[in-house]
Structure 1
Amino acid sequence: MDSSREQIPVFLDGGVRHGADVFKALAFGASGIFIGRPVVFSLAAEGEAGVRKVLQMLRDEFELTMALSGCRSLKEITRNHITT
């Protein structure tokens, strides 16, 4: 996916439950990530406040994953950060 990354945007939709999922998707070359189910569930459960809460939680987890990986910017996230 790296060779086409700059030419064709690739988006991930589905399976995003944690900030680390966002990090992994970006490391594998995704241009962006859609977050549907967590937002819809939190909206149904707690309304707008629930959506704000879940988005903040995802952001906090993502920022923690970046910090633990030594990444200070999105451009520093690479496939080298992923081990299988």
Structure 2
Amino acid sequence: MLLPVLFSFGPSLAGVIVTGLFLDRAGLKDLARRTVKKRVPARWILIVLLVPPGVCVGSLLAGWALGGFAPYRFDLPVPLT
């Protein structure tokens, strides 16, 4: 579960590390300033933050309502002795 997270944020983290190594605090401040330079309406921020968890909760509720979530039964081909 850790690898997808590292793969997702790895390039961004590498960029921050390299900026910090070569341009020190001034470079990191400039990077942070340019990152938040664009103004985004609050409704879009709420949509981005609330829609994915809403879809997850909705799919879980649909699975529960349709009788999913039965315990998974695992049978070994050779019984353990």
Decide which structure has greater strand share: 1
TM bracket, shorter-chain basis? 0.3 to 0.5
Q: Which of structures 1 and 2 has the larger relative contact order (alpha carbons within 8 angstroms, sep 6+)?
A: 1
- For normalisation by structure 2, the TM-score amounts to 0.38
**Structure with max Cα Rg:** 2
